[in-house]
Amino acid sequence: MIVVTAKDYDEMSMKAYEAMKKVLTEKSDATLGLATGSTPVGLYKLMIADYEAGKISYKDMTSINLDEYVGLPVTHPESYRAFMNRNLFDHIDIKKENTHVPDGLNPDLAAAADAYTAYIAAHPADVQILGIGSNGHIAFNEPGTPFDSHTHVVTLKEGTRKDNARFFDNDIDKVPTHAVTMGLKDIMSAKFIILLANGSGKANAVKEMIKGPVSENCPASILQTHPNVLVVTDEAAAYYLN
């Protein structure tokens, strides 16, 4: 695990993008593992800027996202499909049919989750972008999720729903109670993982991920066992590392 501390959010985004760009330039048909949330938005802006400057094309690339709320239609602005379209896909030349986000409206969520797992097994990400929850979750794998989990439906912890209420008029009751998420084993199949974290609210989770025991109590700690992980944080999120 390589850990890099940036001075602020913009520098964090830039350092993560520099690492990602190597993959983008070396493999024109790369599979990109993508994440939602506030954290990767700066990285996505840099991807868009380089696309607009003609430096990178996504026309032969494929993407696969980590997770999606259950029950939100794609027309809902806070569905993760809508988030990805708005923050990235609508602004680059990736083909929408090559972008994959779990379907949180599928009437057979379990079967859809199995199909997602099978897709990941056949198309492991060349680079996987991750954020981290303040409780150490990655994707929606909350503390206690088995390390050998595959794509599955989860009940969101209250803390996670509180963290995300800012996107739902600060009303926790509007935050969905369930989500579909890639499992930890699916995430670990990525060839290269870049985890970003910013802000003091992530400092404890970052410490547990890097310095704590490898334990299902901190799902992100599984990354200690992956051979190719880059963690990029800002100074606030790195507060407990030294």
Catalytic center residues? 67, 135, 137, 142
Report 157-186 residues binding ligand PGA (CB under 6 A). Answer: none
SS (H, E, C) the chain: CEEEECCCHHHHHHHHHHHHHHHHHHCCCCEEEECCCCCCHHHHHHHHHHHHCCCCCCCCCEEEECEEECCCCCCCCCCHHHHHHHHCHHHCCCCHHHEECCCCCCCCHHHHHHHHHHHHHHCCCCEEEECCCCCCCECCECCCCCCCCCCEEEECCHHHHHHHHHHCCCCHHHCCCEEEECCHHHHHCCCCEEEEECCHHHHHHHHHHHHCCCCCCCHHHHHHHCCCEEEEECCCCCCCCC
| Residue 41 CB, nearest approach to ligand PGA (Å) | 8
| Residue 132 CB, nearest approach to ligand PGA (Å) | 6
Contact window for ligand PGA (CB under 6 A) among 98-106, 129-137, 181-189, 211-219: 129-137
- Joined tokens for residue 111: 């079967």
Report 186-225 residues binding ligand PGA (CB under 6 A). Answer: none
The binder of ligand PGA chosen from 133, 136, 176, 183 (CB under 6 A): 133
How far is it, in rounded angstroms, from Cα 220 to Cα 139?
A: 9
| Residue 113 CB, nearest approach to ligand PGA (Å) | 19
Select 27 or 240, whichever has its Cβ closest to ligand PGA: 240
132 binds ligand PGA (CB under 6 A): yes
Select 30 or 205, whichever has its Cβ closest to ligand PGA: 205
Contact window for ligand PGA (CB under 6 A) among 51-59, 99-107, 131-139, 217-225: 131-139
The mark string for 35-74 relative to ligand PGA (x by CB under 6 A, - otherwise) is --xxx-----------------------------------
The mark string for 2-41 relative to ligand PGA (x by CB under 6 A, - otherwise) is -----------------------------------xxx--
- Name the residue with the smallest CB distance to ligand PGA: 37
> Checking phi first, is residue 47 left (phi over 0); if not, alpha (psi -120 to 50) or beta?
alpha
- The residues that touch ligand PGA, with contacts defined as CB under 6 A, are 37-39, 131-133
